[in-house]
Amino acid sequence: MIDMQRERARQVLDAASLGRLDRRRFIALSMAVGLVGIVGKEAVAQAAAAGAKQSSNRASLAKAYDYVIVGAGPAGCVLARRLVDHGATVLLIEAGGTDQQSSITEPSVWFTNIGGANDWGRTTVAQPQLDNRELLIGTGKVLGGGSSINGCVWSRGSPHDFDTWAYEGCHGWSFAEVLPVYRHIENWEGGASEWRGAGGPISIRRPAHPHPAAVAWVTAAKQMGLPINEDVNGQRLDGAGLCNLTVNADGTRSSAVRGYLNPVLNRRQLTVLLNTLVTRLTFEGRRCTGVQIADGTATREVRAIQEVIVTAGGIGSPHLLLRSGIGPAADLKRLGLDVVTDLPGVGQNFQDHPLLQGVVLEYRGDMPKPPLGSNAAEATLFHRSRADLPGPDLQPVLMELPVITPAIRKKYGNVPQNAFTLAPGLVRPASRGSVTLAGADPNAAPIVDAAFLREEEDVRAAMLATELCRELGRQKAFDDIRLREVMPGKPLDREELRDFVRRSATSYFHPAGTCRMGTSHLCVVDPELRVRGVEGLRVCDSSVMPTISTGNTCAPTLVIAEKAAALLTAANRSAGARDFAAPAVQTGDIHAIGS
């Protein structure tokens, strides 16, 4: 259960650390919430010092930094932390605002962020294969990105994912090589083992008080003869279990901001800019020298002494590269853009996990609301649509509320509010889409073609996933809480099932693959995440995945960022570059508050 008084105190500290509160306002809020009594004088002093440092840094923005990071999503927060720890000066730029919002800190209402002020609001072009619908692809426009607005699910993916990357030329990315990185990140409630880590920056736990529907889900899977996993990130992925949640012990969201960024906001080497758009990358010849930024009042350029690191996500990263002259030369010239390097793969290979909304069961009696800190999605299932597959390609998930698409509502009618959803999901899609430019204007939204269910292989898998969810919902385990299946609520023949799948498909909000890593001419970055054909530029986020990971993408994105940080610091040492300044912690004089 979330201690709201302590959480309010934490939000005040976070706002102060970012320099969002002037001294007078900080003192007033500190006294109002009893800050010193809750968190102690030292924490208050550190927050005040961090805020003073961030305010000062922003007021006197330097002309150059060792590293300029574009996007303060999960990868950007990791890289900022690790590079500052290494002594580098870092400018971290975020187009959105602060994460100090109840819809972010409280995991059970995460879905209210999608399509709201913290979301870029990006939609696909009309998808002919999905009843000509345009789909929202939720992407965070806020400090922490997807780790702040999306569901709090920790899913490492299949070992086969990473071994395939390595087999295709991405040396250093096999599962054996990324497993230690996962363990380094994790603070797993079960403690450290050869598979799990403890003491890391991201808190991970099972649901403390699982919803009755989550308990029934796991029991129903067992009744179907499916494997049950006590830990869904353990040695076996196939099977059902309660989700691993990125939730702190107090029930609040464990985001990349709180886990990585906030502890170093008092370092003089770090400057965080919010509500600032990077309009383009700057170049001298083929060397990326920095970025052009706009904060609504002015436009200016900032240089990168070492490198620019793009961490803007599966849609934002290719969008920035394209409008900076990196991409298919003919397309860029047609839009009047100067070509820096001809990279035809930029924006191609788009992948996301299709999620179907969905198989809905009406609850018997009054359905309990998802408890605070619950994520409202607490149970999942990994399954193979064919026995010959090397790993699971389906991931249905429980949603503890009724969710259907407008297209389903139009044909089948509405569903009662006292209901929950067994949502079929695909996590190894065969379909590939694209992200392209609508024009040279940096404020123009990119053209996103998700290509969901474009390949017949994906349609068949989605149909099987739907039948799997319906069968799960019919098990005795649900008898005490299921009044009836209300969606689709009737037998479907093959063509009707196909139509249901196409009308119910939407996004899992996991865009990836558009700046793919590898060695072929269609790869955008090499295995060390350096953009091909230029110098001083890397991309380090979900966009570099050659194939999307099997499951929610936040966890592997953090791994990508941790490995990128290790590559950067190793490259700096091997090149014999100047020593970075030692980290400095300043405390200020705020100790007088509450004394």
- Which residues are catalytically annotated? 510
Q: Going edge to edge, which strands form the sheet with 433-436? A: 348-350, 433-436, 447-449
* β-pair partners for 184: none
Integer Cα distance of 138 and 118 in angstroms: 9
User: Residue 190: how many CB atoms within 10 A of its CB?
Assistant: 16
CB 533 within 8 A of CB 566: no
Q: In 10 A of CB 465, how many CB atoms?
A: 28
The 3-class SS string of 345-412 reads: CCCEEEECCEEECCEEEEECCCCCCCCCCCCCCCEEEEECCCCCCCCCCECCEEECCCCCCHHHHHHH
Separation CA 392–CA 237 (nearest Å): 8
Q: Are 303 and 286 in contact (CB under 8 A)?
A: no
Angle at 26 between CA 21 and CA 28, to 5 degrees: 135
Question: For residues 426 and 466, is the Cβ–Cβ distance under 8 A?
Answer: no
d(CA 305, CA 290): 8
Cβ contacts of 166 within 8 Å, gap of 6 or more: 172, 173, 174, 177
End-to-end CA, the chain = 30
Tokens at 151, concatenated: 């569901």
Rounded Cα gap, residues 340 and 554, in angstroms: 31
Strands 419-423 and 397-399: antiparallel
Helix axis angle for 175-185 and 159-167, nearest 10°, is 130
Separation between Cα atoms, residue 422 and residue 248, nearest integer Å = 26
Structure tokens given for 396: 């249905």
Closest CA to 35 of 44, 47, 25: 44
Please, which residues have CB within 8 angstroms of residue 175's CB and are 6 or more apart in sequence?
159, 160, 161, 162, 163
DSSP state of 244: P
| Burial environment of residue 467 by CB neighbours within 10 A (0 to 12, 13 to 18, 19 or more) | middle
Residue burial 12-26, b: 16+ Cβ < 10 Å; e: rest: bbbbbbbbbbeeeeb
Q: Supply the Cα-derived Rg of the chain in whole angstroms.
A: 24
Report the distance separating Cα 227 and Cα 239, nearest Å.
4
Q: How far is CA 532 from the centre of its chain?
A: 25
Residue 366 CB neighbour total at 10 angstroms: 7
Q: Is 442 helix (H, G, I), strand (E, B) or coil?
A: coil
